């Protein structure tokens, strides 16, 4: 699955953006972010910004946003939908081209966890480097916020696999992040749209279930982890 997602981010950014535009129809993401830190007037550095799903929420409030991603196609997809004030950088989460201590808030949405698939034997080292970069870029007293999945199409929130479970436990017990769990359900215009916008990303199993059950609302649980940087 690791190469599958890399191919999507490199070559199918528009389809990905159409899918995530249907997520969080309840509007829970922004209040969850602001429960950890107020966005108004904040200087934000976003790790793994992708096609701008979170950037679109925070840019109208923040004083500045630097949206970073390793896939140029994703940033190109994001740019037309974002204010001219947003800056961009093609960057690896493990080595960000950002000065230390410049951000009031650092944000990583559904990004770090991919390391568990892309580097199955070395993901712990990679994620530790990513989190270290977040803490370096965040000013003392600022806030680091990480969002990751706790299940798509599931009845209860839970890590989708053991590696993600281990990563989440490490965030909380070793680094000291605290977690909130929210619903960020997808709502589609029709079963046909739900099938079309999920099959390429989540695979046949989930898309077939959508068809079988006639789903236009797809449950999604999201973990939101926050840490005040010393």
Three-class DSSP category at 161: coil
E strand map for the chain: 43-47, 64-69, 87-90, 103-109, 138-152, 178-183, 186-187, 217-218, 220-228
Three-class DSSP category at 96: coil
Provide the number of structural domains found in the chain. 1
Partners of 103 in the β-ladder? 138
Q: How far apart are CA 177 and CA 28, in angstroms?
A: 20
Q: What is the pLDDT of residue 2?
A: 66
For a pLDDT cut of 70, what percent of the chain falls above it? 99
Q: How high does pLDDT run on average in the chain? A: 97
Average pLDDT over residues 71-84: 96
For a pLDDT cut of 90, what percent of the chain falls above it? 97
pLDDT value at 1 more than 60: no
Q: How far apart are CA 86 and CA 168, in angstroms?
A: 30
- In tens, the pLDDT along 116-150 reads 999 999 999 999 999 999 999 999 999 999 999 99
- What are the distances in angstroms from CA 141 to CA 80, 92, 109, 118, 215? 33, 25, 21, 32, 44
E strand map for 7-137: 43-47, 64-69, 87-90, 103-109
Q: What is the pLDDT of residue 3?
A: 78
Domain region containing 159: 2-228
Residue where the block lists tokens 């830190």? 37
- In tens, the pLDDT along 162-200 reads 999 999 999 999 999 999 999 999 999 999 999 999 999
- In tens, the pLDDT along 80-110 reads 999 999 999 999 999 999 999 999 999 999 9
- In tens, the pLDDT along 152-165 reads 999 999 999 999 99
pTM over 0.85: yes
* Paired sense of beta strands 64-69 and 186-187, if any: unpaired
Q: Read off the CATH number of the domain in which 92 is found.
A: 3.40.50.150
Average pLDDT over residues 41-66: 98
CA 13 to chain centre: 15
Contact 145, 37 (CB under 8 A): yes
Q: How confident is the model at residue 4 (pLDDT cuts 50, 70, 90)?
A: confident
């Amino acid at each position: 699955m690791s190469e599958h997602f890399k191919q999507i981010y490199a070559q199918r950014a528009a389809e990905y953006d159409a899918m995530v535009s249907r997520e969080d129809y309840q509007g829970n993401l922004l209040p969850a972010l602001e429960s950890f830190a107020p966005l108004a007037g904040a200087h934000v550095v976003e790790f793994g910004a992708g096609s701008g799903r979170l950037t679109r929420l925070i840019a109208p409030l923040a004083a500045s946003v630097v949206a970073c991603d390793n896939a140029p196609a994703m940033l190109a997809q994001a740019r037309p939908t974002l204010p001219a004030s947003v800056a961009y950088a093609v960057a690896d989460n493990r080595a960000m081209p950002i000065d230390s201590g410049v951000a009031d808030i650092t944000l990583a949405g559904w990004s770090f966890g991919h390391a568990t698939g892309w580097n199955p034997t070395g993901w712990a080292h990679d994620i530790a480097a990513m989190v270290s970069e977040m803490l370096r870029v965040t000013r003392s007293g600022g806030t680091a916020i990480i969002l990751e999945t706790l299940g798509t199409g599931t009845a209860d929130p839970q890590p989708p696999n053991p590696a993600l479970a281990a990563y989440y436990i490490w965030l909380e017990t070793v680094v000291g992040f605290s977690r909130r769990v929210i619903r960020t359900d997808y709502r589609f215009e029709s079963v046909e749209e739900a099938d079309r916008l999920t099959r390429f990303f989540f695979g046949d199993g989930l898309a077939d279930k959508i068809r079988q059950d006639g789903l236009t609302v797809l449950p999604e649980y999201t973990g939101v982890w926050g840490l005040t940087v010393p």
